[in-house]
Amino acid sequence: MQERLLTAADLGQGYTVKPVRETHHDDVTVVGCPALEKLGGEAAAGGTLDFPRRASASFAYTSGADSEVSEDLYSDSARKLSAGSRRIFAAMASCPAYRVTVGSTPIEIATEKAPAPLLGEEQWSQTLTFTVNGRSSVVKQTAVRTGTVLVVVSGSPGLVDAHVHKAVGMARAAT
């Protein structure tokens, strides 16, 4: 699946590869969103989806803004990808605001559905605003299922919009 991921060269000038951090959050609590509470803290904290095959890439855009964009690819049957993605995005969209506590750090999260590009067989998009200690950051997350591959592009909203088409095209070309 690595060959289906975007590279810094695909993105253009000003992008550098960032190491992908594998995270697993055992110490996550969700408050104020029953649907996410049922799924567990890993989903609410932006953890990985539970599909058997996965590849990830992460990039920093350093042309003055220090923004980031990442891509995750998952592979499974179309039915399983569809059901799993739909369940998580519906849970996140069901609560416009909730709190996640990671360790002892409370994070206020506001979610809003966003228009998704008409790519693949299914698509979801949302904008999340994370507030920690009075500082906010906005992350856009767009997921597109194309056949037996799910492409998830996350990061600065402008970068997600600029690169999701290319990411889906590369995932499709390799199938």
Each residue's pLDDT tens digit, 100-128: 888 899 999 999 999 999 999 999 999 99
Q: Is 134 helix (H, G, I), strand (E, B) or coil?
A: coil
- Rounded to 5 degrees, what are φ and ψ at 48? -75, 155
Reported as a single tens digit per residue, the pLDDT across 7-64 is 999 998 889 998 866 655 567 888 888 988 887 655 555 555 677 788 999 999 886 6
The mean pLDDT value for 86-105 works out to 88
Confidence of residue 81 (pLDDT cuts 50, 70, 90): very high
* Structural domain for 119, as ranges: 2-173
CATH of residue 21: 3.40.1000.70
Residue 113: CB partners within 8 Å, gap ≥ 6? 93, 125, 126
Sheet holding 105-113, edge to edge: 15-18, 53-61, 67-75, 149-155, 135-146, 122-132, 105-113, 97-102, 28-31
What value does the mean pLDDT of the chain take?
A: 87
Q: Is 28 helix (H, G, I), strand (E, B) or coil?
A: strand
Domain count, the chain: 1
Q: What is the pTM of this model?
A: 0.89
- Rounded to 5 degrees, what are φ and ψ at 92? -65, -40
Query: Alpha-carbon distance 95 to 35, whole Å?
Result: 8
